[in-house]
Amino acid sequence: MADTTGTTGTTDTTGATGAAESGLPPLAPMPGDWRRALAVVAHPDDLEYGCAAAIAGWIDGGREVSYLLATRGEAGIDTLDPAVCAPLREREQRASAAVVGVTSVEFLDHRDGVVEYGTALRRDIAAAIRRHRPELLITLNHRDTWGGTVWNTPDHRAVGRASLDAAADAGNRWIFPELRTEQGLEPWDGVRWIAVAGSTEPTHAVDARPGLERSVASLMEHRTYIEALTDADPETYCRDFLTGNARRAADRFGGVPAVTFELFPR
């Protein structure tokens, strides 16, 4: 079984010194005693901007990680009609996932930009949880803002909240009983933690170093989206964004560049 620090080495990850300097508590290592994870997000690129470095390291350690996306990101590029954009962004997402070793990528086909929190979304995510039977469920920031100053998108909020709720839905045979009677999906109450990437209130972290280069390459696979988003060189943009976030997290993780999560035990 892999070590429970969530890292590949023996570096001290107490984070006490840096945390003391920042005035924030140190980040604890992520649990490592699990085998399967399901990552549920709203759009192509959400995981690459958030936690692909951690996923690459986990897969290196023999764990299984699958991706579930609520939309195909078809409303994300102003210059492309959604009918053209959707298959392009799906291809980019599959290529991006392959860079970090993820081979299972599913799309729910909710409409990009207008994803609604509610029972339909909870049911779809609960069904995926029952299919994949993860111990760790990963999602993206479900809070109203990014750090209190930048408003989060409705899709992120809806999918994050629905994922938090669907972990319990998946284990209750009397919630969405049609999943069992019509689809043969038996309840799965084996989700032990929900890890929220990009949270403004992180509690845990993973050493980003083993997977950082692949996370940069993974984000670069979303080239069409990135080129529409910024005039900067794509590689410089991706590298600066991801390494900058990892270095900032190091202050609370013993000086180790890290990917942060807010962890909800179940």
CATH of the domain at 170: 3.40.50.10320
Residue 202 lies in a domain: yes
Residue 76 lies in a domain: yes
- The encoded tokens of residue 182 equal 């019509």
- Give the chain's mean pLDDT: 92
As a three-state string, the secondary structure of 19-36 is HHHHCCCCCEECCCCCCE
Residue 11 lies in a domain: no
**What is the pTM for the complete model shown?**
0.91
> Could you report the per-residue pLDDT of 112-167, keeping only the tens digit for each?
999 999 999 999 999 999 999 999 999 999 999 998 789 999 999 999 999 999 99
> Could you report the per-residue pLDDT of 67-88, keeping only the tens digit for each?
999 999 999 999 999 999 999 9
Helices (H), 116-233: 119-132, 154-169, 178-181, 212-220, 223-229
What is the rounded end-to-end Cα distance, in angstroms, of the chain?
A: 21
> Could you report the per-residue pLDDT of 1-57, keeping only the tens digit for each?
333 333 333 333 344 445 555 688 999 999 999 999 999 999 999 999 989 999 999
> Could you report the per-residue pLDDT of 175-197, keeping only the tens digit for each?
999 999 999 999 999 999 999 99
Q: Range of 229's domain?
A: 33-265
Residue 14 lies in a domain: no
Strand order in the sheet with 204-207: 28-29, 204-207, 258-265, 193-197, 136-140, 36-41, 64-69, 105-107
